[in-house]
Amino acid sequence: MGASHDSRTRSPGPGMTAAHRARMALRHLIQTGLDPTPEHYAMAWRAVGGEHEPSPSSESLQAQADRARKLASELSQILRSLCDSIEVSLPQESWLSGQIGAIRAALCDEGNRHALSAVRVLIQGALPAQREIGLERQQALSALRELLPDVIAQISRLGSQSETFGGRLATHLETLGQASSIEAIALGLRQLTEDARQMEQAVGEAGHRLSASAHEARALESEIARLERELALTSERLLTDHLTHAANRAGLEQAFDRAARRLIETPCALSIALIDVDDFKKVNDALGHAAGDAALRHLADLLRRQVRSQDTVARHGGEEFVVLMPDLQAEQASSLLVRVQRELTREVYLHGGNRIFITFSAGVTQIQPAESLEQVLRRADEGMYRSKRAGKNCVTVS
């Protein structure tokens, strides 16, 4: 990966100007997170193919870096405001929440170009399916709108026929009331029967037409619901870790934002745990990465089964997981994780005939209103490291 990237940045072409090379060097500084010192700039200059050492002033470098950082900050703010605007304008489009959550999670680390690039790739990958589904949904809605005038016309026609029949019925009743012979009564009854038969036929035909229209409308409604579910699933993938099927960082951000808002609005408890698999490197080294990945999937599945339905299990990266637990005090959350640890020791995981014993160390902390995810994760991380120092396979409240 590193070699291919170097080969791209070291082939700028013979016609590159010094100014263009300087911009590339500055971009390299920002992407690698290095401070804009003369020494770092010289390294970046060489990284983009510069042969002679540049001699820009420290002040000039700092000014350029500051301008770049301000621009990046403004773009981040624009993206956040755009996400807010979309949520306010289209609150019913729940499938958008996946993409918005992924963008916000990537923006939390403004210097992480790779996180932004990853969410860009995910959204671009989902775009063709969203475009196709959106078009089909619009076509289904258009067909529904075209169906409504026909239904209204059928009902109106039936109403008109009913009104005509009502008038004729009154006439027949008046005629029968004035009839002076059996023949006149029989004629009136025959006319009344014929009109009633015609009315019955009209009602039956209208009923069939309305039933067909209702069936078509239900089919269209069902298709729209199916398309919306498919679109929601497409966007939900942006919130899910592809290996463990737990929530990813974006999914965790979204769940945390919901829980944090509720914590401010309603007096309740909210706890979070940071879990780290013990001696995970030994599993990878002894059995290979496939066994390590399988062990992580096993742990994620067990966590989802053992925690409550309202809890969120998220992969935090590598062999770390986060569990968000609404309505639990820190001590209660700790007890829940201890039960998970016991269950984990009972369910010995087998991979290719090898028994893999999985344990984890965890730190638990209770979240206070208005705290950020980064704040509470740092506190939980401190508890997790205390668990490691205490001998592993334990839970510490911090």
Name the band, by pLDDT with cuts 50, 70 and 90, for residue 269: very high
Which residue, among 203, 356, 353, 336, has the nearest Cα to 278 in the 3D structure? 356
* pLDDT for 155 beyond 70: no
The DSSP 8-state label assigned to residue 392 in this structure reads S
Name the band, by pLDDT with cuts 50, 70 and 90, for residue 81: confident
Distance CA 280, CA 319 (A): 7
The DSSP 8-state label assigned to residue 238 in this structure reads G
Decide: 36 and 27 in contact? Cβ < 8 Å: no
Residue-level pLDDT at 366: 97
Q: Region 272-278: what's the mean pLDDT?
A: 96
| Segment 116-139, tens digit of pLDDT | 666 676 677 667 766 776 777 777
Token match 């258009």: residue?
A: 142
* pLDDT for 294 beyond 80: yes
* pLDDT for 9 beyond 60: no
* pLDDT for 27 beyond 80: no
Distance CA 236, CA 247 (A): 10
* pLDDT for 4 beyond 60: no
Cα–chain center distance at 320:
21
Residue-level pLDDT at 206: 67
Decide: 283 and 294 in contact? Cβ < 8 Å: no
Residue-level pLDDT at 112: 57
Token match 């916000």: residue?
A: 104
- Catalytically active residues are 319
Residue-level pLDDT at 283: 87
Residue-level pLDDT at 204: 67
Tokens of 230: 């498919």
* pLDDT for 328 beyond 90: yes
Name the band, by pLDDT with cuts 50, 70 and 90, for residue 31: low
Distance CA 178, CA 186 (A): 13
Decide: 177 and 192 in contact? Cβ < 8 Å: no
Residue-level pLDDT at 173: 66
Contacts for 68 with CB less than 8 Å, ≥ 6 apart? 26, 27, 30
Distance CA 118, CA 33 (A): 18
Q: Region 242-260: what's the mean pLDDT?
A: 89
**Percentages of the chain per state (helix, strand, coil), in multiples of 5:** 70, 10, 20
Decide: 213 and 151 in contact? Cβ < 8 Å: yes
Which residue, among 168, 174, 170, has the nearest Cα to 194 in the 3D structure? 168
- Say what angle helices 289-306 and 280-287 make with each other, to 10 degrees: 140
Q: Region 270-277: what's the mean pLDDT?
A: 96
| SS3 at position 356 | strand
Pairing of strands 360-366, 395-397: parallel
Residue-level pLDDT at 62: 62
Name the band, by pLDDT with cuts 50, 70 and 90, for residue 305: very high
Residue-level pLDDT at 114: 60
Residue 235, judged by CB atoms within 10 A of its CB (0-12, 13-18, 19+), counts as: buried
Which domains are seen in the chain, by residue range? 2-126 (no CATH), 140-237 (1.10.287), 268-397 (3.30.70.270)
Position with higher pLDDT, 269 vs 78: 269
* pLDDT for 335 beyond 60: yes
Q: Region 311-325: what's the mean pLDDT?
A: 94
Average pLDDT, the chain: 76
Residue-level pLDDT at 65: 65
Tokens of 335: 């007890």
End-to-end CA, the chain? 39
Residue-level pLDDT at 56: 53
Distance CA 302, CA 343 (A): 8
Position with higher pLDDT, 2 vs 319: 319
Name the band, by pLDDT with cuts 50, 70 and 90, for residue 334: very high
Beta bridge partners of 356: 349
Write out the E strands in the chain: 270-277, 312-317, 320-326, 349-351, 354-356, 360-366, 395-397
* pLDDT for 160 beyond 70: no
The DSSP 8-state label assigned to residue 52 in this structure reads S
Core vs surface per residue 249-260: b (16+ CB within 10 A) or e: bbbbbbbbeebb
Name the band, by pLDDT with cuts 50, 70 and 90, for residue 324: very high
Decide: 308 and 367 in contact? Cβ < 8 Å: no
